[in-house]
Structure 1
Amino acid sequence: MTDTGTRTRQTTSTRSRVVQFVDRTRTRMFGEAEQSAFGPDHEPTFFERMRERLAKAADFVAPAVRPITGIGWITLLLGVAAIVGGLVFKWHEVIVIGVAALLLMALAVLFVLGRTRYRIELDLAYTRVIVGERALGRIEIHSSHTRTLAPASIEVPVGTAVATFDLPRMEPGDMHEDIFAIPTRRRAVLQVGPVRSVRADPMSLLRRQVKWTDPVELYVHPKTVHLEASAHGLVRDLEGITSRELTASDISFHALRDYVAGDDRRYVHWKSSARTGKLMVRQFEQTKRSILALGISTSPDDYANPDEFETAISVLGSLGLQAIRDEMDVSVTTSTGRLPVAGSKRLLDALSGLEWSGRNSRFYRLAQQIGREQGGASLVVMHAGTTVTPEEMRRARLLLPAQARVIVFQPQTDAKVRVRELGDAQMVTIDDVQSLPRILRSLEDR
């Protein structure tokens, strides 16, 4: 028994040493075993390890091959293929072509080698402009290298376009400045930058880029017009709309009633009390603050052309800005959700990035959303293009709050401005945002 136990322990000890030796060898060759979704003790398979090593190799090689352009790849592959084909088929002329192609790649490497040290500042005069205005920008480039820097190109991406500047040879401590203008033909949110330096060879085989700044957002706001302070008179009641709820203190007087212990004596009607011989107090109808609900469809099916959509955004922006200045309760709802109305700047920024999409819901669904979320609105102003028919507007009106006044602005280029009654709603045909103040004055008289 003793000899058997001793032999068993020796065998177990030898097996443990062998297992430890195998584990150490595997760790040196493949690394530590990683935990996975299968559990903490799961060891990656051979294919998982190979995939990980290929990913690491790609990360290592990517910086070296990233400067190669499309023409560079063609030249490189042509050179290798020509040399291999020439050696196989004994074509000396083809070998010469391959060697020449590889020599061109080698010469191109000399143009992009070397470190560049710049300190670049990107500055926009204004980060918010109105569509049609030019946004001015400035880049200031300082040489931070101890040696002379070779000429290079500086690129400033502006949206989908790229502005290019030629940078001359710079001595240590030199400064170079360039001023550029950004035309704003349409409403948008443009990303300006990051500023990058570019070094390339004359054949454009290699192109090396280095980013030096962070991007800056430029908001191109829609055109808006200033409205008179009385524009919110469309609601009829500047203090609010009265309800059937009675209260002890408000603005709209309702009737007199007997005094009850606890009533505010400021509202005791002394003449009636003297006449009846008992205290009488005033009773009021509770008023609610006027709520303006603005809605705009962002479905291209609701507009005949992009100009109608841009006019609708300008009209909505003008109404929203005036409501914010008048400190009214206002909400702006689109086919994709609500826009921030905490301030004029935030509203215009949101309108700058508003785009239409075929996936967005149409006018009828927008009315349904406003009726569900803005049940207490006193004035609803919606915007849609000429493809929305009056019949669709009538059906959409049934989904909106019953107590609200509903106005639908329908932009139509080169059309005559007019107001049309659609039951208890009104459809306004507008040609341009400049006609909005005149239209509002006519609506106030109705």
Structure 2
Amino acid sequence: MTAEALGSGAPSVERRERAQGMALRAWARARGILSVIRPLAWVLIVAAIVLWITGQTLGWWELTVTAVVIATVVALCAFFLIGRTAYDVTLDLNRTRVVVGERAVGALTLANTSSRAILPSRVVLPVGSGRGVFTVRRLPAGETAEELFAIPTQRRGVLKVGPVSVVRGDPLGAFERVHRRDQPVDLFVHPRTVLFDGQSLGFLRDLEGLPATDLSRDDVSFHALREYQPGDDLRHVHWKSTARIGEMMVRQYEETRRSHFVIALSRSAADYRNADEFELAISAAGSIGLRALRDSQRVEVRVQGRELPAATGKQFLDSLSAVEHSRPRQGGIVELSGVVAATLPTASVVVLVAGSAVEAATLRIACARLPFGARALAIVAEAGATPSLRRIGDADVITIGALDQLPAALRKVLA
């Protein structure tokens, strides 16, 4: 191929690329125009065309007049699209974290920062699978409008609030122009939890423990000296300080606890009889995890398929808000126990949480799979059941029918 042939082919390539770019821009513009036409408008347009053709063919002027009327209505509806929607939109939630049953209150502020008034329009605020619709009056230049709203939270989960959409359209709903003006905000609906006093199940004194803020008369972590009190063990008297001060002084210790506290929460649907049991199990796991975090424990949480972040109480509850049922192939409580044993072999305390569909034999196998030497506790959520305590192998098994039964049941384990 000669140089002249190569040179003549280059302009054709450029023209083809330019034509493709123009076609893509034209298609994008056409798609934007077509997006404002709602199904009702298409029905009216097709009806007007059919009636017009039929009337002209058969000579029925009634059909022709009807077609003209329909076309006129469609044209009048299209005029409602005229106008700007250049709002500055601000979405503000008073709280982005609430507990199931609480209301999340927020405010939607729309400001007209342009030099001309904005005609009335509708504002749509998606909330999860639902949405709220607000009607905004005519907004003069430089003014703002504020809409307050409350989001009821009947179920645990993570709700996306937004993005806010400004809608302009006609009363019939034939045409609708939508402009999205804001970024969505995550609303975390935390599970219910119960607070209880006393030490968590990780309260085991040992040499590998971490010091806590609770003081003790007898442990392995020295804290300070104090005056002798009746009942103190004389073995802890600090004789040098006693001789120097002239009063009997004894050593005071910090209690130590094991640092590896694991919660294994089953999210297999086969382990629960209904949705209430699943929510009760999540609430129980959340309550125990929060207690362990307050007791300076190192808390790790496992569910089928992943680890839940639990460095802080807020992070832990956020992760529980998003827990859903797992896929059947990920197994139940037995498979989850195997994962704990394989990934956390140094766990000191393991709490298994499941529903009443788990049989005693299955629970025994799950407990037997846990890391060697770990203290095992199983919590069975059975909605409406009477609280009970039993032993399965080396594990304590607590059955609760309501969340408020958990503190008393744990006290029996620690007794």
Short-chain TM bin: 0.7 to 0.9
| Partner SS, residue 230 of structure 1 | coil
The 1:100/1:22 distance shift into structure 2, 3 A limit, reads farther
Q: How does 1:393-404 map onto structure 2 within 5 Å? A: 393-404=363-374
Q: Aligned residue for 1:20?
A: 7
Deviation at 1:194, TM superposition (A): 1.7
Contact 2:88 2:181 in 1 (8 A): yes
| Partner SS, residue 341 of structure 1 | coil
The 1:25/1:291 distance shift into structure 2, 3 A limit, reads closer
Q: How does 1:76-115 map onto structure 2 within 5 Å? A: 76-87=45-56, 92-115=61-84
Q: Aligned residue for 1:222?
A: 191
Deviation at 1:184, TM superposition (A): 0.6
| Partner SS, residue 312 of structure 1 | helix
Q: Aligned residue for 2:27?
A: 58
Distance in 1 (CA, whole Å) between partners of 2:380 and 2:126 is: 37
- The alignment status of 1:427 with 2:404, answered yes or no, reads no
Q: Aligned residue for 2:384?
A: 414
Contact 2:203 2:257 in 1 (8 A): no
| Partner SS, residue 182 of structure 1 | strand
Q: Aligned residue for 1:300?
A: 269
Deviation at 1:319, TM superposition (A): 0.9
- The alignment status of 1:170 with 2:139, answered yes or no, reads yes
Deviation at 1:98, TM superposition (A): 3.5
Normalized against structure 1, the TM-score is what?
0.77
What is the aligned length?
371
Contact 1:229 1:326 in 2 (8 A): no
The 1:54/1:84 distance shift into structure 2, 3 A limit, reads farther
Contact 1:235 1:405 in 2 (8 A): no
Normalized against structure 2, the TM-score is what?
0.82
Distance in 2 (CA, whole Å) between partners of 1:175 and 1:55 is: 38
The 1:221/1:75 distance shift into structure 2, 3 A limit, reads same
Q: Aligned residue for 1:237?
A: 205
Deviation at 1:18, TM superposition (A): 5.2
Deviations 1:82-133 (A, max 9, x none): 4445555655444444433333222111101122222222111111111111
Question: Could you say which structure has the larger radius of gyration?
Answer: 1
Q: Aligned residue for 1:314?
A: 283
Distance in 2 (CA, whole Å) between partners of 1:420 and 1:77 is: 73
Distance in 2 (CA, whole Å) between partners of 1:403 and 1:352 is: 32
Deviation at 1:23, TM superposition (A): 4.0
Deviations 1:208-234 (A, max 9, x none): 1112221111111111111224123x5
Out of 15, 32, 42, which is 1:73 matched to?
A: 42
The 1:61/1:356 distance shift into structure 2, 3 A limit, reads same
Out of 74, 83, 88, which is 1:119 matched to?
A: 88
Contact 2:36 2:176 in 1 (8 A): yes
| Partner SS, residue 138 of structure 2 | coil
Deviation at 1:182, TM superposition (A): 0.7
- The alignment status of 1:131 with 2:100, answered yes or no, reads yes
Deviations 1:385-411 (A, max 9, x none): 111111111111221112112111111
Q: Aligned residue for 2:310?
A: 341
Deviation at 1:437, TM superposition (A): 1.1
Distance in 1 (CA, whole Å) between partners of 2:100 and 2:90 is: 26
State the one-letter code of the partner of 1:237: R
The 1:58/1:388 distance shift into structure 2, 3 A limit, reads farther
Contact 2:120 2:138 in 1 (8 A): yes
Distance in 1 (CA, whole Å) between partners of 2:52 and 2:153 is: 52
- The alignment status of 1:378 with 2:378, answered yes or no, reads no
The 1:172/1:56 distance shift into structure 2, 3 A limit, reads closer
Distance in 2 (CA, whole Å) between partners of 1:18 and 1:239 is: 86
Q: Aligned residue for 2:171?
A: 202
Deviation at 1:55, TM superposition (A): 5.3
The 1:181/1:393 distance shift into structure 2, 3 A limit, reads same
The 1:294/1:117 distance shift into structure 2, 3 A limit, reads same
Distance in 2 (CA, whole Å) between partners of 1:365 and 1:81 is: 65
Q: Aligned residue for 1:31?
A: 17
Residue ranges of structure 2 left out of the alignment (5+ in a row): 210-218, 222-255
RMSD: 2.5
**Once the two structures are aligned, what percentage of the paired residues are identical?**
33
The 1:288/1:173 distance shift into structure 2, 3 A limit, reads closer
The 1:327/1:138 distance shift into structure 2, 3 A limit, reads same
Contact 1:151 1:168 in 2 (8 A): yes
Contact 1:315 1:436 in 2 (8 A): yes
Deviation at 1:166, TM superposition (A): 1.4
Distance in 2 (CA, whole Å) between partners of 1:437 and 1:378 is: 21
Distance in 2 (CA, whole Å) between partners of 1:54 and 1:419 is: 73
Deviation at 1:240, TM superposition (A): 4.5
Most deviating of 185-194 and 357-366: 357-366
Distance in 1 (CA, whole Å) between partners of 2:298 and 2:139 is: 58
Residue ranges of structure 1 left out of the alignment (5+ in a row): 1-11, 33-48, 242-249, 253-286
